Structure 1
Amino acid sequence: MTVAPAPPRPAPVRPATTRAGDSQRVLHRLVRRELRLLAELSAWAPAGDATRSSALTRHADLLGRVLLGHHAMERDLLWPALLRALPTDLADPGRERVADWTARCAAVDNRLRDLSTAARQWAVAGTPSARDAFALTCLDLAAAVDAQTAAEERELLPLLEAHLPAREWTAIARGARPALSPREQLTVLGLALEDADPAERARLLSGLGRGTRLVWRLAGRARYRAAVVRLRGAPPDH
């Protein structure tokens, strides 16, 4: 008796896009690292040194604007696109996960306002208690961001990578315009590149316009390194 050969197994379905998930993880990692580092640097800063407190609180302001802009992009563009792309059987679970994300991000955004208040109080008072309050607020925010991004990476990013068409992510990435100056955008690029592996670095740099890549290579990288030395007292890892 001849046994018919088994039909070939279908090839595994390649996710529609991993670039969206990769971008999310890089941004999450950047913010988590910088908030905890900011808390550490602030705890050791001379409370009455206006130059030092200004540098640290400016960095906190930049991180806050980056995170708020990121949340706005997700809320207004990314998650609506994902929900439209989900198959019918995943639509309700997807909406539930986005609702959970919304609640968690609202709590993070409230803590960002607390950080802004603590920064202003340290700038005005210049006291050890005001400095310590700022450092503790950074830690509190870092813990909230840790929890929120862990839930997002566990619950939403797998759906994003499996179902969002690559063309949708490309349109979202091109349409998102961060409210940052060109210098601030280069700073954020440098922060993102610090912990990036070679594949992530290549992807980040390839996503830039030719002019931005040239600016980064000729001047941006050196300026970023100098800025990090002023802020941390040590050069960046890359």
Structure 2
Amino acid sequence: MPPTTTTTDQRPNVHEMVVVHRVFRRELSALPRLVRRVVAGDAARAALVAEHLELILDGLHMHHTGEDAVLWPLLHLRAAPAAALVDTMERQHEQVDARTEQVRTLATAWARTPTALAGEQLAQLVEDLAAALFEHLDLEEREILPLVARHVTVEEWQSLGEHGRDEMTFKQLPLMFGAILEDADDAERDHLLGQLPVVVRLVLRTLGARQYRRYITRVRAA
């Protein structure tokens, strides 16, 4: 039978999730402004902003599917007194997923025909998604991460990161890592990169970092 808690010196570093959450908070707060700044008819600029929105939504989807596959079943099994809380997290995922699909659908149409009306509708949908997501992230950091530290092993926790890396495309990998590392401090950056193979770590620190800087500069250009 799997252990019900982790030992003191083998607890997962749950702060990693806080670092990842910063990306969604930062980018989904900025994206409505980016959408609204696109001039009607500027299909090239709309396509770039929509592509960035898609990258963030893909990252969120990978993040949540990993939790659905790993965290919620483990916490239901090992932290039974918190079952109602875990149920709430699962329902919030469903609500976020529904809003995400609405955003994806409108973003595709807007990128193809970037009218002012469609842009404003998209910006408002992203704001609605962000509000629902941020409520979820706040609850997760406040209530779920302490449970994870007690009831999830290091290996199980690491499988979440592996899930995300396995799901990312070759193009997405340096961009998502660049986004995660952008606001990380030195200790957070060294910890996250230290979990990767040496070759991957080297690429992300050099070619990947330059690729991300070029990409995000274009996205945030006025």
Residue 23 of structure 2 corresponds to 30
The match for 1:97 among 85, 107, 113 is 85
Separation of aligned partners in 2, 1:175 and 1:68: 11
1:81 maps to a residue whose letter is L
1:196 aligned counterpart, secondary structure: coil
Instruction: Decide whether the 8 Å contact of 1:16 with 1:161 is kept in 2.
Output: no
1:182 aligned counterpart, secondary structure: coil
* Comparing 178-187 and 137-146, the one that deviates more: 178-187
Task: Measure how far apart 1:131 and its partner are.
Answer: 0.9
> Residues 39-188 of structure 1 correspond to what in structure 2 (within 5 A)?
39-84=32-77, 86=78, 90-93=79-82, 95-174=83-162, 176-188=164-176
| Cα-to-partner distance string for 1:10-35 (whole Å, 9 max, x where unaligned) | xxx8474242x222212211111101
2:171 aligned counterpart, secondary structure: helix
Separation of aligned partners in 2, 1:59 and 1:175: 21
Separation of aligned partners in 1, 2:85 and 2:189: 30
Q: Which segments of 5 or more consecutive residues in structure 2 lack a partner in the other structure?
A: 1-6
Residue 212 of structure 1 corresponds to 200
Relative contact order, higher structure (CA 8 A, sep 6+): 2
Residue 9 of structure 1 corresponds to none
Q: Provide closer, same or farther for how the CA distance between residues 126 and 73 of structure 1 changes in structure 2, counting only shifts above 3 A.
A: same
2:101 aligned counterpart, secondary structure: helix
Instruction: Decide whether the 8 Å contact of 2:181 with 2:189 is kept in 1.
Output: yes
1:101 aligned counterpart, secondary structure: helix
Q: Provide closer, same or farther for how the CA distance between residues 64 and 106 of structure 1 changes in structure 2, counting only shifts above 3 A.
A: same
Instruction: Decide whether the 8 Å contact of 1:69 with 1:178 is kept in 2.
Output: no
Please say which structure displays the higher CA radius of gyration: 1
Separation of aligned partners in 1, 2:51 and 2:141: 28
Separation of aligned partners in 2, 1:63 and 1:178: 16
Q: Percent identity among equivalent residues?
A: 34
Segments ≥4 residues shifted beyond 6 Å: none
Separation of aligned partners in 2, 1:118 and 1:106: 19
TM-score (norm 1): 0.84
Q: Which segments of 5 or more consecutive residues in structure 1 lack a partner in the other structure?
A: 1-12
Separation of aligned partners in 2, 1:38 and 1:157: 27
Matched length: 216
2:152 maps to a residue whose letter is L
Q: Is 1:17 the counterpart of 2:11 in the alignment? A: yes
Instruction: Decide whether the 8 Å contact of 2:96 with 2:132 is kept in 1.
Output: yes
More helix per residue: 2
2:137 maps to a residue whose letter is T
Q: Provide closer, same or farther for how the CA distance between residues 198 and 42 of structure 1 changes in structure 2, counting only shifts above 3 A.
A: same
Instruction: Decide whether the 8 Å contact of 1:66 with 1:178 is kept in 2.
Output: no
